[in-house]
Amino acid sequence: MRRRLVCLAVLLCACCACGTVAPAAAPTPIPTATAPAALRLAPLEACGTVKAWTAPTATRAGSVTIGSKTHAVNAGTNHGATGFVVSAGQDRCLFGGLDGQTQPYHGATPIDSPFCGAVLAFTPATATAAGSITILHVAAAALAIPAGTDLGTPPLGTRRCVTVGTTSSGDALVRARAAPSILDMEPHLWCGAVKSYAAGSAIAIGSKRWEMAGTVPYDTAGPNGPDRTAAGTAMCLTAALDDQGRITRYLTSDLPMSEGGFVTSYAAATPAAAGTLVFSYRYVRTIERGTDLDVKAGAYACVKLALDDAGDAVITGTIACGGVGL
pLDDT, averaged across the chain: 88
Q: Residue 32: CB partners within 8 Å, gap ≥ 6?
A: 155, 156, 157
Residue-wise pLDDT tens digits, 143-158: 999 999 999 999 999 9
Q: Which helix (H) or strand (E) holds 199?
A: none
As a whole number of angstroms, the distance between CA 5 and CA 200 comes to 20
Residue type, 91: D
Q: Quote the pLDDT of residue 81.
A: 79
Q: What is the DSSP letter of 41?
A: G
| 27 or 6, greater pLDDT | 27
SS3 49: strand
Average pLDDT over residues 263-291: 94
Residue-wise pLDDT tens digits, 87-97: 999 999 999 99
As a whole number of angstroms, the distance between CA 140 and CA 41 comes to 9
Residue-wise pLDDT tens digits, 18-67: 333 333 444 444 455 677 888 888 899 999 999 999 999 999 999 999 99
Q: Quote the pLDDT of residue 6.
A: 34
As a whole number of angstroms, the distance between CA 186 and CA 66 comes to 29
Closest CA to 266 of 292, 234, 305: 292
Beta-carbon count within 10 A of 312 CB: 18
As a whole number of angstroms, the distance between CA 237 and CA 190 comes to 5
Would the pLDDT of 17 be above 70? no
Q: Quote the pLDDT of residue 199.
A: 95
In this predicted structure, which of 10-14, 78-82, 131-135, 320-324 has the lowest mean pLDDT? 10-14
Q: Quote the pLDDT of residue 1.
A: 40
Domains in the chain: boundaries: 1-184, 191-254, 258-318
This prediction's pTM:
0.85
> In this structure, what are the phi and psi dihedrals at residue 220, rounded to the nearest 5 degrees?
-115, 20
The confidence band for 326, taking pLDDT boundaries of 50, 70 and 90, is low
As a whole number of angstroms, the distance between CA 271 and CA 185 comes to 35
Q: Quote the pLDDT of residue 38.
A: 84
The confidence band for 14, taking pLDDT boundaries of 50, 70 and 90, is very low
Asked if 123 and 27 touch (Cβ cutoff 8 Å), the reply is: no
Closest CA to 176 of 159, 151, 142: 151
> In this structure, what are the phi and psi dihedrals at residue 182, rounded to the nearest 5 degrees?
-65, -20
As a whole number of angstroms, the distance between CA 192 and CA 325 comes to 19
Residue-wise pLDDT tens digits, 180-235: 999 999 999 999 999 999 999 999 999 999 999 989 999 998 788 899 999 999 99
Residue-wise pLDDT tens digits, 306-322: 999 999 999 999 999 87
Asked if 285 and 315 touch (Cβ cutoff 8 Å), the reply is: yes
> In this structure, what are the phi and psi dihedrals at residue 52, rounded to the nearest 5 degrees?
-155, 145
Residues of the chain with pLDDT > 70, as a percent, come to 89
